Amino acid sequence: MDRDDWGGAGPGFTPDPAAKEAALAGYATYLNPQRVRVLRAAGLDIVEAGRSGPWVWDLDGRRFLDCFTSAGSFNVGRRNPRIVAAAHAAVDRLDHGNFLLCSQEKAALAARLAELAPGDLSCTMFGTGGGEAVDFALKLARGATGRHRIVSAVGGYHGHTGFALSAAGRSAFRQPFEPLVPGFDRVPFGDTAAMAAAVDQETAAVLLEPVQGEGGIVVPPDRYLPAVREICDRAGALLVLDEIQTGLGRTGRWWAADHFGVVPDIMTTAKSLGGSLVPISATLFTEALREFLIPNPFIHLSTFGGSDLACAVALEVLAVIEETGLVDHAAAMGQRLFAGLVRVAAGHPDVIADVRGLGLMAGVEYREDSMGPRMSFHLARHGVLAIYSGNQPAVMRLMPALVVGEDEVDYLLGALDAALDDLESGAGPEVTAPTRPRRRPVRPAAS
């Protein structure tokens, strides 16, 4: 990896605090004022300007190590020079393409995904975003099995589109829009007995993230996913794994399912597939399931899904991950990060209840929910952009670009230590989030 490609020289823009305030004011007026208030309170009134590798600069001229990465969207780094060049080349000769027609780029990307996917997932349906990929996965599961029930997990997150939202593991996201799609049930994540009780002859599919992201970086017990695979097989139900946050090297393997030796029937990928430049998602599935689409080749359509432009960029993303050894690099950096997190946690036992994760998908669980937003504030002051989990505010997600080096991992650990000191000193904003005590001890992550 060429370490000179980012960081040192900076991104070449002029700080402009007035432009920042204008952007925040415009956002408050024309998008959502409450989002601006919440972000300001958490010290996250950051308007991004420069973007390069694992770093982002805001319009105030501050530099941050980006550990949010749009929830795992920047695995190859922001504006990776190879991806930028591929995008330029693609724009020079392509556009979206006519979605009903066949294209070289779609065929080439689908073929490459078939090579990289676990097991026999050799067929693809493209989309634009993660929710759309999950929607198609569940439509396919229902269509192919003729069954209607879907079982997902408490705390799970799959996006805000129709089927994906119906599977959401947090009622606050679903409740205002009910009745949603019928036939969805949720069981506690990691609980094999609950899963066995929930799956029956009416179950079309079980939908899970192999490691829960928004749920607070929850790594299931080693035996959980293999046991769910067996439960599905016994009932004739399909296993759908949502690798939208966990895939493409994030956990130190190409797919998180690889850690557990499990091959799903359907798998979704999105986010980092677009290389931080284009929206694209893919739902991968077996040839046997494709039988459902043979009499129905136009039953699921997406104008921009797998556009020729996006496919060309995504092909380069996959090439960069493979040719730069990014998956193994993520595993090595993840080990360094985890060892450091254990050390930092030991120095702050009153604040940190647990550290956990796989590869560069790490979670730091604080003892109270309010500490999540307060630590976002303190980390930002120490040059780290980190945001607590959507479904679990006590857990800080640390998901830097996979291109981080040892220096950047150490920078993150130093910033975390300093931010914890600040929190313990009582500095920082008043935060009124509900608090819940947490008592779990620090324990090592699964590897």
181: buried, middle or exposed (CB in 10 Å: 19+, 13-18, 0-12)?
A: middle
Instruction: Give the whole-angstrom CA distance, residue 47 versus residue 281.
Output: 26
Minimal CB distance residue for ligand PLP: 130
Using rule CB under 6 A, residue 313 touches ligand PLP: no
In the shown chain, the binding pattern of residues 45 to 74 toward ligand PLP, with x for contact by CB under 6 A and - for none, equals --------------------------x---
Distance (Å, rounded) from C-alpha 11 to C-alpha 318? Answer: 25
Question: Between 192 and 281, whose beta carbon lies closer to ligand PLP?
Answer: 281
DSSP state at residue 252: S
Is the Cβ–Cβ distance between 94 and 86 less than 8 Å?
no
By the rule CB under 6 A, 363 interacts with ligand PLP: no
The helix/strand/coil state of 352 is: strand
Q: Which of 6/74 has CB closer to ligand PLP?
A: 74
Query: Does residue 270 touch ligand PLP according to CB under 6 A?
Result: yes
What is the closest distance, in whole angstroms, from the C-beta atom of residue 204 to ligand PLP in the complex? 18
- Where in 164-203 is the site for ligand PLP (CB under 6 A)? none
Residue 130 interacting with ligand PLP (CB under 6 A): yes
Stretch that binds ligand PLP, among 124-132, 216-224, 422-430, 437-445 (CB under 6 A): 124-132
Q: Which residues lie closer than 8 Å to 285 by C-beta, 6 or more apart?
A: 121, 123, 124, 125, 137, 140, 265, 266, 267
Give the nearer residue to ligand PLP in terms of CB position, either 50 or 210: 210
Assess 302 for contact with ligand PLP (CB under 6 A). no
Amino acid present at 282:
A
Q: Where do we find the tokens 């130093």?
A: 414
Question: Binding to ligand PLP (CB under 6 A): which residues in 142-161?
Answer: 157-159
Nearer to ligand PLP, 7 or 274 (CB): 274
Contact status: 135 vs ligand PLP (CB under 6 A): no
Give Cα separations from 157 to 92, 391, 431 (angstroms): 37, 8, 25
Side-chain half-sphere CA neighbours of 296 within 13 A = 12
Per-residue binding letters, 243-262, with ligand PLP (x by CB under 6 A): -xx-----------------
Closer to ligand PLP by Cβ: residue 129 or 249: 129
Annotate 138-184 with DSSP letters as a single string. HHHHHHHH---EEEEETT----SSHHHHHT-S-HHHHGGG-S-SSSE
- Which residues make up the interface to ligand PLP (CB under 6 A)? 71, 129-131, 134, 157-159, 209, 213-214, 242, 244-245, 270
